[in-house]
Chains A and B, each alone.
Chain A
Amino acid sequence: MNGSPRLRSIQFSKLPVHDTCWSIATGNDGRIYVGVCGEMTGGLGVFLVSYDPQADKVRYLLDVAEALGEPPDNGHATHSKIHYCLVPSDDGTLYGATHCTGAPLGDFVWRPWNCWDDPQRMFTGFHIFNYDPEREKLEDFGNMSPNEGSRAMALCQRHGKLVGVTYPRDHFYVFDLESNEYRDLGRIGDVNSQSVFLDRDERAYTVDDLGYLVRYDPDADELTHLDVRLPYTSYRDGSYNLIYDSVPSLDGESIYGVHWNVDIRLLDNRLFRYDPGDGPEGRIRDLGWAFRPKEAGPAWQDFQNHHTGGLVFGPDDHLYFSTYVHWKEPKGMYLIRMNTATGEREELGPVMDSEGKTAEYIAKATAGFDGRLYFASCASRPTCMFEYLPEARPKTGMTLAGVRRWG
């Protein structure tokens, strides 16, 4: 079976053993930047790669781990990933943070808990860095928190702060770009949320293990647990309804998000809209199951993969995302288009290129300035991203202003 001619995969073939792309971002130069990660083979470090849509060219920019002084053969758990922590800045540079779970060279598995106090195998702690693609210049801000990776990060551009959550302890952190000061604001949960998003005022949000929003106000420098909760199906109690992906609405007033189907249990897979300005703590609106046509049957009757990721607005102002379809062949990630005004969803077919290469898992997505959509793909060797060419073209040229500032 071949996929849609509108879809193609862009493979990172010079990294044949790397297996996942968790982070993807559009830069100020219109290029697509990807963190190409190696988490399933010991001794691999993350690479920063760019794709130029105009020239149709992939460039391998940086062996990130090596450049940060964390060579992947040093016996420690590797700086194997840039998780949801690659963020474009107004000045054309990118901020990134590294992440763990890749095993040391020669080992076939690594978990942070097993190696916490092992001076050799421990993860040295995530770095925050800035990369200027034009000057090919890296600025390393150093190790932030020993043993921990950065799971998700956002850039409060006007406030000069990066905010994020660590893994595995799920602490909320703030990094001040002026003073280079890293501050740990403490634990917010156990099972990591996969997204830290911003409102117009650059207040940052994520959720705790019960799905309640946690808000960081960069003006007050305050972390607050809100009474606003992600939606959940009536037959569940809402526990572990963590957020997986989120994207700002076109007017920037709202945030669209989706649950994470964390692998400890299969949970809700609902879309929601959060309106931060609706009341003192904002308001969540449940938009229902991300995509579940009648033929899928009721959600309570199965224990299937319900992953949804890659939320991105297209040039037709519709919300695109990818969701796992298990109720028909071929099973796998499908591309869905949603009219957010009506709530109507449309299945666009499997995420599969014209040669039949499919996506096992779509993490996050970004839009190019020409309106094409890019989806970071995981679990393939070599790993790749998928490019989708929507029918509509952008009304006007897109700019970085429309690109989200979180991973």
Chain B
Amino acid sequence: MMTLEDELDRRKWPRPPFEMGPPPSSADRREWLRRLAVSDYERSVYVSEGRIVLRHLGWKGVVKAIPPGESAVTSLAVDPKGRVVGLTSGAKSHMFIYDPQVDRVVDLFTIDQDSLAKNSLVVCPDGKVFAATRRSGGERGPGRLITLSLSYGETLTWEPAKPQVTEIELPRRDEGISCLAHDESRGLLYGLTSETGSLFCMETDSGKAHIAGQVDELGEFSDCLAVGIDGTVYGGKRWGGLFAYRHEQGELGELGLRIPSLAGRDLYNRVDSMAVDTVTGRIYGGGTADGVLFMFDPKEGRMVSLGKPTFQPRTRAIAIGRDRKVYGISGRRGGCGHLFRYDLSTGDLRDLGIPLAHSDQFWHGYEFDSMVTGRGGEIYLGESDRISHLFIYYPPH
């Protein structure tokens, strides 16, 4: 019987593409070309258009960042002063503020434990904040819905006073909140309850609330909502379907449209994220199953597939930049997410690559679950990992 050693003597080995040691002179053209290609190959997978930085979720060097396991940034919003407010999910949910003017993050307070706070943050023009959670484990209650007012001095000290928080009665006592959305012009807060997917509506001034109804008969719904420029609320239901709620009429119904997916995969698909283009009123979003980007035009009742920007499923977060481009992030849980861009003027859809920051720290951003556009056109990406940061993407001019 032939031993491994005998077999090794006869084995044919692949030819090494590179010699050991320092790079050869350019006279060895084949190897020289390969070495150049390696360098391009390594760079090409990362976002190279524009700049990416990250900020720790704490005042770096002064206060410790929000701890591992509590730092996944799952909700982001911009306040009237241009500061970015965020919520985290995990063993604890924190509320934090990043102030671009002083360039630091301050961890404000813990709002819940064993909780998920996805797309569950609203900041009103008067600075009033609504935040909500749902349970991600354990059995200590369903979650929270709270409101508070920001003082605008929070980021000037490393130990800000905990804001005065007012508890709001949950629309359904035994359910947390899956997501929130805001109709600024009408002063209405919308949300979905976490178990039955019941859509509720609350007046932000009076706190008067009512439940509009359950958005999906099978309880399959998306944890995001979009408020159109006419005040209609849109959300995702089972198999890629959409629902709409018109407050004035009190009508909640199915739209009869499906967001796009690859063929045969409707059953796995749900709206993953949505953003409203306030210029045209169109809604951009992506699906869970295949990460196909779509445009929904409420005026025309038209759904358009814009293509699949990356190799990956999902569109975990999306935002519309001030440069008239849609930015999104794809990638499955435990995967390696890519940032993509859709140019509203040219229709160019492009995979920009993996967000890799070099400042404040060299760090690959693999997972993101929230995104918002800053006042200056910068895009904030909420990293959603065991150790997470606030990424800031500055698109090219």
Which A residues fall within an 8 A CB radius of B? 14-17, 19, 40-44, 59-63, 105-106, 108-109, 111-114, 116-118, 147, 168-169, 171, 184, 186-191, 208-209, 225, 239-240, 264, 360, 379-381
Contacts and interface: CB of A to CB of B under 8 A. Distances in A.
Contacts of A59: 5
Contacts of B41: 109, 111, 114
A189 B385 CA distance: 10
B312 A117 contact: yes
Given A14-B9, A63-B4, A225-B67, A40 B386 contact: no
Interface of B: 4-5, 8-9, 13-18, 20, 34, 37-38, 41-42, 44-46, 67-69, 310-312, 334-336, 354, 361-364, 366, 385-387
Contact of A15 (B8, B18, B68, B364): B8
A384 to B, nearest CB: 13
Nearest to B357: A190
Q: Is the interface of B mostly helix, strand, loop or mixed?
A: loop
Given A60-B4, A61-B4, A109-B41, A186 B68 contact: yes
A147 B18 contact: no
A285 B281 CA distance: 62
The 10 A-B residue pairs with the shortest CB-CB distance in the complex, in nearest-first order: A186-B386, A108-B17, A117-B311, A116-B336, A14-B8, A17-B13, A187-B386, A41-B16, A43-B14, A190-B363
A19 B13 CA distance: 13
B381 to A, nearest CB: 16
A265 to B, nearest CB: 8
Contacts of B387: 186-189, 208
A225 B68 contact: yes
A17 B363 CA distance: 34
Contacts of A111: 41-42, 45
Nearest to A107: B17
A244 B350 CA distance: 39
A305 to B, nearest CB: 12
Contact of B362 (A63, A117, A264): A264
A131 to B, nearest CB: 13
Given A169-B366, A208-B387, 8 more contacts: A14-B8, A14-B9, A17-B14, A41-B17, A113-B336, A117-B311, A169-B364, A190-B362
A174 B188 CA distance: 48
B14 A62 contact: no
A168 B67 contact: no
A240 B385 CA distance: 19
Contacts of A14: 5, 8-9
15 contacts: A16-B13, A17-B13, A40-B16, A41-B17, A111-B41, A113-B336, A114-B41, A114-B44, A117-B310, A171-B386, A186-B385, A187-B385, A187-B387, A188-B68, A188-B386
Contacts of A118: 311
Given A111-B41, A186-B386, A187-B387, A117 B364 contact: no
A61 B9 CA distance: 14
Contacts of B42: 109, 111, 114
Nearest to B37: A109
Contacts of A117: 310-312, 335-336
A105 B20 CA distance: 19
A57 B367 CA distance: 49
A171 B4 CA distance: 35
A332 to B, nearest CB: 12
A239 B335 contact: no
A209 B361 contact: yes
A184 B366 CA distance: 16
A29 to B, nearest CB: 19
A42 B18 CA distance: 11
Given A111-B45, A114-B45, A190-B361, A147 B336 contact: yes
Given A62-B4, A113-B354, A168-B364, A17 B20 contact: no
A71 B363 CA distance: 33
B14 A41 contact: yes
Nearest to A108: B17
A168 B363 CA distance: 11
A61 B4 CA distance: 7
B161 to A, nearest CB: 26
Nearest to B31: A108
Contact of B5 (A44, A60, A112): A60
A182 to B, nearest CB: 13
Nearest to B42: A111
Contacts of A105: 14
A213 B68 CA distance: 14
A360 B362 CA distance: 27
A264 B310 CA distance: 27
A338 to B, nearest CB: 30
Contacts of B15: 17, 41
Contacts of B16: 17, 19, 40-41, 381
A31 B362 CA distance: 41
Nearest to B46: A113
Nearest to B363: A190
A331 to B, nearest CB: 12
Contact of B14 (A42, A188, A239, A379): A42
A199 B14 CA distance: 43
A65 B67 CA distance: 39
B153 to A, nearest CB: 29
A364 to B, nearest CB: 20
Contacts of B336: 112-113, 116-117, 147, 169
Contacts of A225: 67-68
Contacts of A60: 4-5, 8
A19 B20 contact: yes
Contact of B17 (A42, A116, A189): A42
A119 B42 CA distance: 19
Contacts of A41: 13-17
Contacts of B68: 186-188, 225
Nearest to A66: B4
Contacts of B46: 113
A17 B34 CA distance: 18
A278 to B, nearest CB: 23
B5 A240 contact: no
A43 B15 CA distance: 10
A113 B67 CA distance: 26
A116 B335 contact: yes
Contacts of A188: 68, 386-387
Contacts of A113: 45-46, 336, 354, 364
- The interface centre, meaning the residue of B5, B41, B386 with most chain A CB atoms within 10 A of its CB, is B386
A174 B67 CA distance: 21
A62 B361 CA distance: 41
Contacts of B8: 14-15, 60
B224 to A, nearest CB: 23
A125 B362 CA distance: 25
